[in-house]
Amino acid sequence: MSRIVYVNGEFCPEEEAKISIFERGFLFADAVYDATSVLNGKLLDYDGHMGRLQRSLRELDLTSPVDPDELLFLHRELISRNEIDEGIVYLQVSRGVADRDFVYPDVDPSLVMFTQKKVLIDSPIAKNGIRVISKEDLRWHRRDIKTVQLLYAAMAKTAAVKAGADDAWMVEDGLVTEGTSNNAFIITDSGEIVTRALSNDILHGITRRTVMKFAQQAQMKVVEQPFSIEEAQGAAEAFITSAATFVYPVIEIDGKPVGSGVPGPSAARLREIYISEIQKTAV
């Protein structure tokens, strides 16, 4: 059975889903999105993701076509209709349909939503770790807005896979910004967790924020400051965070092992804490 998706007020099989070629999300990447993880049929950190969505909408003078209560209903309905126990709910708000013109038109926005089944808890990647390469960060300078403008991230991820790695960490002015779809962390020999501070240079990761909060509650020191690839290669551990990965250890950067070259205990502990604590507030 195919997935049931949601397009502008209607649920339908994915094969029947249609949207205009004049949709500005297609023509201009004039759209924002967010993605919320699902465990045991419930949404994780939902308020955080919807809060970020509203911020992204405001930054682009976009409005949501539905109110918050209906948005939660749509998430739950898609989970139910697609029998999602573990996975992701993706949503995208586009400016709408209008003849091609660079100036924002006064039209109704579009809303598209779908689900993806995905192994989140027992992921072998979480046990084995990932390898990353470094790539120059050539993206625009409003990375804090979660837009669908992801072409360079896709290019960097593809380059990493072609090089035999799993992902790329992007570097600007000699310092790591973030991964292609995740936030980057290192753990120093003294046990400090280091990650770049929030700004327009990186996405304001919801999982990033929550993992940092749980780490501090566990008496782990978190420092928000940039670091270089060389510092990451010399760290005791490294890891990434995102809604789809939770916490994944990074075991190699540009061909050089991080620490002992195997997943370390601190990243594993952070993953365990996150999975345990985040489910307490799932909706």
Any idea which residues carry the catalytic annotation?
A: 146
Helix ranges (DSSP H) in the chain: 24-28, 46-59, 68-81, 124-128, 151-162, 206-217, 229-233, 265-278
Q: Would you call 268 exposed, middle or buried from its count of C-beta atoms within 10 A (0-12, 13-18, 19+)?
A: middle
| Placement of tokens 């939770």 in the chain | 246
Question: Which residue type occupies 227?
Answer: F
Pairwise CA distance, residues 87 & 234, whole Å: 34
Are residues 228 and 202 in contact, defined by beta-carbon separation less than 8 angstroms?
no
- For 14, other C-beta atoms within 10 Å of its C-beta total 13
Q: Would you call 282 exposed, middle or buried from its count of C-beta atoms within 10 A (0-12, 13-18, 19+)?
A: middle
C-alpha R_g of the chain: 19
Strands (E), 160-236: 167-172, 175-179, 183-187, 193-195, 222-224
Long-range contacts: 135-140, Cβ < 8 Å, 24+? 135/159, 135/160, 135/168, 135/169, 135/170, 135/171, 136/170, 136/171, 136/172, 137/170, 137/171, 137/172, 137/177, 139/170
